[in-house]
Amino acid sequence: MNHSTKFYQQFLLMFFFLILSVGLVFLAEIILPFTETIKYDTLAQSHKIFIERKLAKEIQESYSKLKQKIKFKEEELEALEKAVLLKNDINFYGVVDLFNNTLILKKQGKTVSEFKVSPGKGDTLIAPWGKLWVFETPKGVLRVLRKIKDPVWYKPDWAFIEAKESIPARDSPRRLVRGILGNYALDLGGGIMLHGTPYEQLLGQRVSHGCVRLSKDGIKTLYDSLSLGAKIYIFGK
């Protein structure tokens, strides 16, 4: 076999594979368009996954907030039902003025007593894992859901983070703190209470984590005057 014949055979073999490749590409294009085969884009898919996870997180947070609102309304309804059964006098109500940091006890529109209070300071705290707490006293109309004598504070996670302490288990005795809420507390739901304080020198200042602190005499007066289901109006900045 001379050199030209060998070259000619190699040329035919290359030409055959070229035709075969073109044919396979053409066949693939018929079965699955070429644009579809290159459609997968890593960056685009990563962004899509990120958006979907963000949306799922937002849905979960909205669901959690809705559950809290439902629970709060159920507790409010339960308090009102108890008030009706006990035939409580709900003519007394409280008005918290966040502009002046005062609470006014009223009965049928007339002022009975007025007290200096310490509402939420408005600060925020972010946990190392990203959870955010906002220490504000909520505005709106709340109701007295529970009346508690000698309340025990269940210390939440943010209190340990704020103090730069390790967070204990949910049932740890380290979470139970006596005396910090005074002798009486009125639970308004959602973790917000009217309660006493050992720091009466700070009354009139915004220093709490959302609750409304009062003097020993002030919280005793409210405890004695306000019935289950009584309204607490909170307004201001």
User: Whole-angstrom distance between the N-terminal and C-terminal Cα of the chain?
Assistant: 100
Distances (CA, A) of 169 to 155, 156, 163, 175, 186: 11, 11, 16, 9, 27
Dist CA 228 CA 82 (whole Å): 7
Tens of pLDDT along the chain (237 residues) come to: 555 666 667 777 777 777 777 666 666 555 555 455 445 566 677 777 777 777 777 777 676 666 666 665 666 666 666 665 555 556 899 999 999 999 999 998 899 999 999 999 999 999 998 899 999 999 999 999 999 999 999 999 999 999 999 999 999 999 999 999 999 999 998 899 999 999 999 999 999 999 999 999 999 999 999 998 899 999 998
Dist CA 188 CA 226 (whole Å): 12
CATH number of this structure's domain 89-235, picked from the four choices 3.40.630.10, 3.60.21.10, 2.30.29.30, 2.40.440.10: 2.40.440.10
56 Rama sector, left if φ>0, alpha if ψ -120 to 50, beta otherwise: alpha
- Cα atoms in the 13 Å half-sphere on the side-chain side of 159: 13
Domain ranges in the chain are 3-39, 89-235
